[in-house]
Chains A and B, each alone.
Chain A
Amino acid sequence: MLAATKVDVAVFGASAVIVLAGAIGVVISANPVHAALSLVMTLFGVAVLFVAQEAHFLAAVQVIVYAGAIVVLFLFVIMLLGVDRRENVAREELRGQRPIAFLLGIATIAEFVLLTRGTSWVTGAESVVGPASGPGANVETLARSLFTRYLLAFEITSVLLVIAVVGAVVLARRPPPERPEEPEPLAVPERLHTPQLDDAAPVPATEVPAP
């Protein structure tokens, strides 16, 4: 275990301030775009923390995937829905949500405390710790398992992306209008010469084909 140098402490302190400032910004900004940009700040701060831990790959993924792709996606959605649509946070949509959230939060903390008190629940293979760099490093091992053991899983994820694209188009586009020019033909008994309309039919009640 290496002792933390002054530089380490300084880097940690600076990025911790950035992370927390961003997180608070996400919660308190009234404008959703500002909230999304504060999120970028938090994610960058976390990336710096990863670099400090020598997890360079994770830091790069953090910036590229989270700060790059996901926040941009958030911004797209915010722009699509309209920036000026403010939500009244004071009003509770689900009644009783807040006390329940409070209780569940307490329960979660209690669970963590219980877990750290050490139980003999965990069974199975021992944990594996890989070196951070050099041969057999975490990143390399990850890459290896993606292209060997989990090759099929890795590849069929692409099917999910195709579905996401097609699904987004299907759900986002305006449905084609109903064709009113084609009324449903009515089966009218032969002996009855005054045709009647089905009350549920959504067609205008003027033109009815004679039997």
Chain B
Amino acid sequence: MIPAVLAQVGGTRAAPLQLPEVEYSAMAPALILIGGALILLVWVSVVRRRPPWLWAAFSLVTGAAAMGASLWLWFDVRDDGPRRAVADALVVDGFSVFFFVLVSATVILAALLGEGYLRREGFGGPEFYVLMLLSASGAMFMAAANDLIVVFLGLEILSIALYVLAGFHGRRLESREAAMKYFVLGAFSSALFLYGVALVYGATGSTNLVSIAQYLAGNVALENGVLLAGMALLLVGLGFKVAVVPFHTWTPDVYQGAPSPVTGFMASASKVAGFAALLRVFFSTFSTLRLDWQPVVWGLAVVTLLVGSVLAVVQTDIKRMLAYSSINHAGYVLIGLQAGTANGISGALFYLLAYTFMVLGSFAVITVVGRRGDAHHSLDTYRGLAARRPTLAFAFTVFLLAQAGVPFTTGFLAKFYVVSAAVEEGSYALALIGMLAAVVAAFFYLRVTVLMYMTPASAEEVTEGAPPAQPRLRLPATTGVAVAVAVAFTLAFGLLPSPMIRFARQATLLM
């Protein structure tokens, strides 16, 4: 009886399964992050000895290991050339390794920020770090994905962990509200993205980015409505992640409500990964449809630049202001994409690199100034900060000026490269709007600087004639290190930018 059944089963079986080769080295940085998160989870449930600094220290080691693996991959790709891995699902080229390095740096800085914050707010346990590491691994998969399904899964891994992190501060109602808003709107945008994947699959017969590009290169569709609709939905889904203007409405509320280190991580990792996917999908996969998407991206860039900079001016909360400023930054990266040239892409990459350090540094300072409870974020809190904490005020000034694009900072060069890429392509109007937005943006960055340096601590107390009594700000050593690293990066590569520019230039896409 049983042999008969087995024979029947064996008879219906076709050729044996050819499992694809799994190149673990190609995704080593992401695997290190996932492994680190799993070790943390096992550790907390098995080992009884757990000093409070352990989780942060272990996350730092994991981040450093991921950084090491990324750098090793960088030289490997440079010597042996780019390649595809794991049944064409991933592509290891300079572009993806560039983002591996960037995400690893984000993990290291965010772990440094998180340590002081969690200790101040009285949160023990490794959950924060576990979610952050897993989220970062999603960002890496997104950057290296060669298949729309993998892009989607990376997006979900990144986002779902971020939804939870946004609501991490359970005592603050704003934090819960931010998580809820981010989750509902994020789920909506993920659904749109998935619908876009389905339509593109329907139009081209593949979800693989290379196969799609080959199909589009070999076939010209006369009625390509489905393909264009799919492309538009992909743009919406990714545009939501990177906060491009019509899809930006979640940004201010979520940035304001989420715990400050999480906002820093969200502003850097999520934006970086979203742009990695956006640049790869549109610049390399849909390059034959450039005439269709370029005008749309042009329009999005203009609206994003203007809305981001103008609305930031009227904000009275520093986190909301930086949320609008991050929208403004997204507009500059779109300028690089819109140019659609190798220079535009390397300009966009350099912009993301500079932006990551500026924004994480800014949120490090905001975390400290926010004090216990993470609630002091009104612009008035920054009055006279220079008199109380000159070093902190100096660091914040560096980040703000860099974001405004003042010379001798990385921010200036970043804006310069994307705008000059646009000028090379003849998009003078867009370049002009970009510079105009920078002028408007300079106003609100400088306003905070003026508040810190040129106004007394608190206006009403001065009128009463009594000297102000401001609580002393505690700067944990770890946060101090993060701020110092970000300042050093912003200034050093602002003065001597050539290594980083070479880094961004060599980060080319395979294909």
**How many A-B contacts at CB < 8 Å in the complex?**
164
Q: Is the CB of A163 within 8 A of B131?
A: yes
Residue of A nearest to B90 (CB): A152
Q: Is the CB of A159 within 8 A of B202?
A: no
Q: Is the CB of B150 within 8 A of A147?
A: no
Please choose the segment from B156-164, B393-401, B425-433 that sits at the chain A interface, where 4 or more of its residues have CB less than 8 A away.
B156-164
Shortest CB-to-CB span from B207 to chain A, Å, is 9
Shortest CB-to-CB span from A197 to chain B, Å, is 7
Interface residues of B in 450-466 (CB under 8 A from A): 466
Q: Is the CB of B469 within 8 A of A197?
A: yes
Chain B residues whose C-beta falls within 8 Å of the C-beta of A144 in the assembled complex: 17
Contact of A156 among B141, B215, B225 (CB under 8 A): B141
Q: Is the CB of B227 within 8 A of A124?
A: yes
Q: Is A185 an interface residue (CB 8 A)?
A: yes
Residue of A nearest to B469 (CB): A196
Interface residues of B in 202-223 (CB under 8 A from A): 202-206, 215, 219, 221, 223
Q: Is the CB of A151 within 8 A of B466?
A: no
- Interface flags, A186-204, vs B, CB<8A=1, else 0: 1111001001111011100
- Interface flags, A159-170, vs B, CB<8A=1, else 0: 110111011011
Interface size on B, residues (CB 8 A): 71
Q: Is A13 an interface residue (CB 8 A)?
A: no
What CA separation (Å) do A33 and B154 show in the bound complex? 36
Shortest CB-to-CB span from B63 to chain A, Å, is 17
What CA separation (Å) do A167 and B17 show in the bound complex? 36
What CA separation (Å) do A198 and B472 show in the bound complex? 10
Q: Is the CB of A184 within 8 A of B471?
A: yes
User: Could you say which interface size class chain A belongs to?
Assistant: 35 or more
Q: Is A153 an interface residue (CB 8 A)?
A: yes
Q: Is the CB of A148 within 8 A of B18?
A: yes
What CA separation (Å) do A144 and B164 show in the bound complex? 34
Q: Is the CB of B19 within 8 A of A147?
A: yes
Q: Is A95 an interface residue (CB 8 A)?
A: no
Chain B residues whose C-beta falls within 8 Å of the C-beta of A197 in the assembled complex: 469
Contact of A153 among B150, B469, B472 (CB under 8 A): B150
Chain A residues whose C-beta falls within 8 Å of the C-beta of B18 in the assembled complex: 148
Q: Is A176 an interface residue (CB 8 A)?
A: yes
Q: Is A179 an interface residue (CB 8 A)?
A: yes
Residue of A nearest to B472 (CB): A187
Residue of A nearest to B148 (CB): A153
Chain A residues whose C-beta falls within 8 Å of the C-beta of B38 in the assembled complex: 162
What CA separation (Å) do A197 and B88 show in the bound complex? 63
- Interface flags, A111-141, vs B, CB<8A=1, else 0: 0000000011111110000000111100010
Q: List 30 A-B contacts (CB under 8 A).
A: A119-B223, A121-B226, A124-B219, A135-B13, A148-B17, A148-B20, A150-B89, A150-B147, A151-B89, A152-B87, A156-B150, A157-B153, A159-B137, A159-B157, A163-B164, A166-B127, A166-B130, A167-B163, A173-B170, A175-B169, A184-B471, A184-B472, A187-B471, A187-B472, A188-B469, A189-B467, A192-B467, A198-B470, A200-B376, A202-B372
> Sorted from nearest, which 3 A-B pairs have the closest CB atoms?
A125-B205, A175-B170, A167-B164
